Amino acid sequence: MIEFKDVSVRRDGRELFAGASFQLHPGHKVGLTGNNGTGKSTLFALLLTQMGMGDTEVTLDKGEVSIPDSWQVAHMAQEVGASDQTAIDYVLSGDEQWYKINAALSDLSAVSDEQIGVLHQQFDEIDGYRTPTKAAQIMAGLGFNTSQHELPVSGFSGGWRMRLNLAKTLMSRADLMLLDEPTNHLDLDAILWLETWINAYTGLVIVISHDQAFLDATVGHILHVEQQKITLYTGNYQQFIRTRHERMAQQQQVFEKQQATRAHLDDFIRRFRAKASKAKQAQSRIKQLERMAELSPMMADNPFSFRFYEPAHMSSPLIEMTHADIGYSDTPLLRNANVQVTPDTRLGLLGMNGAGKSTLIKALVGELKILSGTYRVSDTLKLGYFNQHQMDALDAAATPLQMMRRLAGKTSDADLRSFLGSFDFRGDRIDTPSELFSGGERARLTLALIVWQRPNVLVLDEPTNHLDLQMRQALTLALQGFKGAVVLVSHDRELIANVCDELYLVHDGQIDAFDGDISDYGKWLSEKRKQENSSDKVAGKKKSKKESKKFVSRETRDSLANTAAPTKAIKDNPTSPALSKEEQRKMAAEQRKLTAPVRREIEDTEKALAKTETALTAIEEKLADTSLYKESRKADLLKLLDEQSILQQQQSANEEKLLLAMTTLEEMEAGFE
């Protein structure tokens, strides 16, 4: 286990935490939370320093940190350099033990016969023949297709390199895994896959994340850094919020602000009920808002308190796209798109990675000209458009106050400073050039500039990527009170559930209304991923013999060679006489007989996976019951979580077993041709 005893740490002359004492055990999934600047990254750096790793050395001012000497650690770095190494090799290098042995076996010129035997034994002990399959599965889960495996790392964009870095980290055989914002560059389907992976991982995971839904789905403990103290809470993020604010509610000032926040949410829920009380999406959203009302005390000490101004002018529709083909270089990515944005629109765009969500956004805001169809905007349209490009386009040399002054006309400095303070730009930060800002500060400044311009349509493409939990909740409340239209693309499920009352699905070149809520979309994604994985396992395994050897064990290859030998001998001998129909029939029967065990294994494994899926769905439905998280039902909750963990491990093992069986069948059938 990891144990902190009365630990104190200073950096740059500032005390980050003092007197920290806690224990973390193998199998724990821990969320590391706290406001920006409280010392979360420093805690990671301290752990790495104690294990003789890391680029930044952090020393103890006081206390003791105990970590088992035998433990291995994997840390997700925040930068990935460009290299000519292929993507699959880069990911495989995360398993250092496998990579070292495999490299030695690939070049036996400097290895003795005795060493060769030892290497093969070590390879068998670490189940090395399945390692490339594991790497391929991880890459698929994070959104890579098989055609990208052999591309150089330098050929990927920054966001996709971060995915490669996460895949490399997940390949490690580590006892301790440190993940710093792993969901920042992932879309929703990859996040859902990562949740499953973390839940099945048997080691200790500590994760820094600003995605509340992700934390709720993966962690069982919260390590919170606040006011130079580190406190360990039992339970997921929701439970942590409740426990923490039960303590804070003892302070009268906190209580009063908490009540004001609840009143705001109650008013919003009432207005929403009156608008669409019978729609399935509406009912789901009401439940989300009611749950958020329980979590609203989070806002009690929130430094962010902004709101969107009411638009000056409105008309309907504000944006209208009819029968539009959208794409690049005369090649449609989306066909026959019909989207109308009115003042009441609260639209969330869903879809798998690469489906075309951002392409649709660019067409809606007029950044991308449609290939055919009609596109009209109202004369009253005033667009507030947020995306990564807007953040990157900030004037690097200008301060927040200078940028606001360019927009604000005769508004006084005092009013501008007050406005910027609602986005937590205070003191020296108001007069600091934006080039010195973090990603989160740049995102907040971009939002502040948008808010000031009083848009009547907000088009937000992944607005939360760099925002912490408190800013995300402030943005959610502000969007709920916004009087204009909202079009949103986000991997933050809490934001979509609490802001959008209409969902569109972008898939297979089409844009259609999605009949369900965000949890239904998660189930849809899971089903699609299984279908695609099944197709990939059959169609995508047509590799060269050399490449196939990476994925099939020696025993399987030997069996294939013996099985396919008679047929191959006939095929390779051009002088052999043509087989009669009777001989062909007998040979086909023999082939079916030879492959029957593998086919049965595939069928049995698919049945087992279906059974596991049904059981997991039943557990997820039980876990959705909010009464389960009461202290009196803690034993029931822990039992369900244990059952879920066991089933997820069984699911992972059966998926790997199915992949290997399907690969074996593919090779056998190829040998008969």
**72-131 per-position pLDDT tens digit:** 999 987 667 777 889 999 999 999 989 888 888 877 777 777 788 788 888 888 888 888
Angle 413-421/400-408 helices, nearest 10 degrees?
A: 120
The β-bridge partners of 74 are 177
Task: Collapse the DSSP code of 233 into the 3-class scheme (helix H, G, I; strand E, B; otherwise coil) and give the result.
Answer: strand
- In terms of Cα–Cα distance, which of 395, 387, 399 is closest to 360? 387
Residue type, 271: R
Does 584 have pLDDT greater than 70?
A: no
Q: How far apart are CA 597 and CA 661, in angstroms?
A: 10
Secondary structure of residue 331 in the 3-state scheme: strand
Q: How far apart are CA 508 and CA 664, in angstroms?
A: 31
Determine the distance from the C-alpha atom of residue 292 to the mean position of all C-alpha atoms in its chain, rounded to a whole number: 22
How distant, in Å, are the alpha carbons of 62, 307, 392, 464, 571 from that of 460?
46, 16, 15, 9, 60
Distance, in Å, from the CA atom of 441 to the CA atom of 418, rounded to the nearest integer, reads: 17
Please answer whether residues 525 and 188 qualify as being in contact, where contact means their C-beta atoms are separated by less than 8 angstroms: yes
> Distance between CA 346 and CA 352 in Å, rounded?
20
- Burial per residue of 115-140, b for 16 or more beta-carbon CB atoms within 10 angstroms, e otherwise: eeeebeebbeeeebbbbbbbbbbbbb
pLDDT confidence band for 505 (50 / 70 / 90)? very high
Rounded distance, CA 313 to CA 563, Å? 76
Paired with 64 in beta bridges are: 5
The pLDDT value given to residue 251: 56
Question: Nearest Cα to 399, choosing from 430, 439, 443, 424?
Answer: 430
Do 77 and 93 meet the contact criterion of CB atoms below 8 Å apart? no
Terminal CA-CA length for the chain? 55
More confident residue, 553 or 81: 81
25: pLDDT confidence band, cut at 50, 70 and 90?
very high
Higher-scoring residue by pLDDT: 22, 667: 22
Instruction: Tell me the mean pLDDT in the region 390-395.
Output: 84
Considering the entire predicted model, what is its pTM?
0.64
Tell me the pairing of strands 319-328 and 372-377.
antiparallel
The residues, ordered by sequence, that sit 6+ positions from 438 with a Cβ below 8 Å of its Cβ are 36, 466
| Average model confidence (pLDDT) across the chain | 81
Q: What is the 8-class DSSP label of residue 86? A: B
Give me the sign of the Cα torsion angle 264, 234, 231, 463: negative
Where does residue 506 rank: exposed (0-12), middle (13-18), buried (19+ CB within 10 A)? buried
Structure tokens given for 321: 């796209």
Architecture, CATH, for domain 319-527: 3-Layer(aba) Sandwich (3.40)
Per-residue tokens: 583: 């001989």
Band (540; pLDDT cuts 50, 70, 90): very low
pLDDT higher than threshold 50 for residue 250: yes
* Cα–Cα dist 507/510, whole Å: 5
Under a CB-based contact definition with an 8 Å cutoff, are residues 335 and 510 in contact?
yes
Q: How confident is the model at residue 218 (pLDDT cuts 50, 70, 90)?
A: very high
Counts of helices then strands in the chain (DSSP H, E): 23, 18
The domain spans of the chain are 1-71+175-248, 82-165, 252-301, 319-527, 552-672
Alpha helices, DSSP H, located in 276-356: 280-295
How far apart CA 413 and CA 404 sit, in angstroms, is 9
d(CA 367, CA 640): 49
Query: Please, what is the Cα angle at 400 between 399 and 403, to 5 degrees?
Result: 85
pLDDT band at 287 (very low <50, low <70, confident <90, very high): low
> In terms of Cα–Cα distance, which of 594, 601, 575 is closest to 672?
594
Report the C-alpha gap between 11 and 9 in whole angstroms: 7
Per-residue pLDDT tens for 632-663?
Answer: 776 777 777 668 767 877 776 777 777 777 77
- Cα–Cα distance for residue pair 442/473, rounded to 1 Å: 17
More confident residue, 447 or 466: 447
User: Matching CATH topology for 1-71+175-248 and 319-527?
Assistant: yes
Give the sign of the dihedral formed by CA 416, CA 417, CA 421, CA 423: positive
Burial state string for 611-624 with b = 16 or more CB within 10 A and e = fewer than 16? ebeebbeebeeebe
Evaluate whether the domain defined by 1-71+175-248 bears CATH number 3.40.50.300: yes
Rg (CA), the chain: 28
Residues 6+ apart with CB under 8 A from 210: 181, 464, 467, 468, 469, 472
Does the pLDDT at position 276 exceed 70?
Answer: no
Q: Closest Cα partner for 222 from 19, 22, 74?
A: 22
The pLDDT-based confidence of 583 (bands split at 50, 70, 90) is: low
What confidence tier does 487 reach under pLDDT thresholds 50, 70, 90?
very high
Return the structure tokens found at 398.
Answer: 């200008």
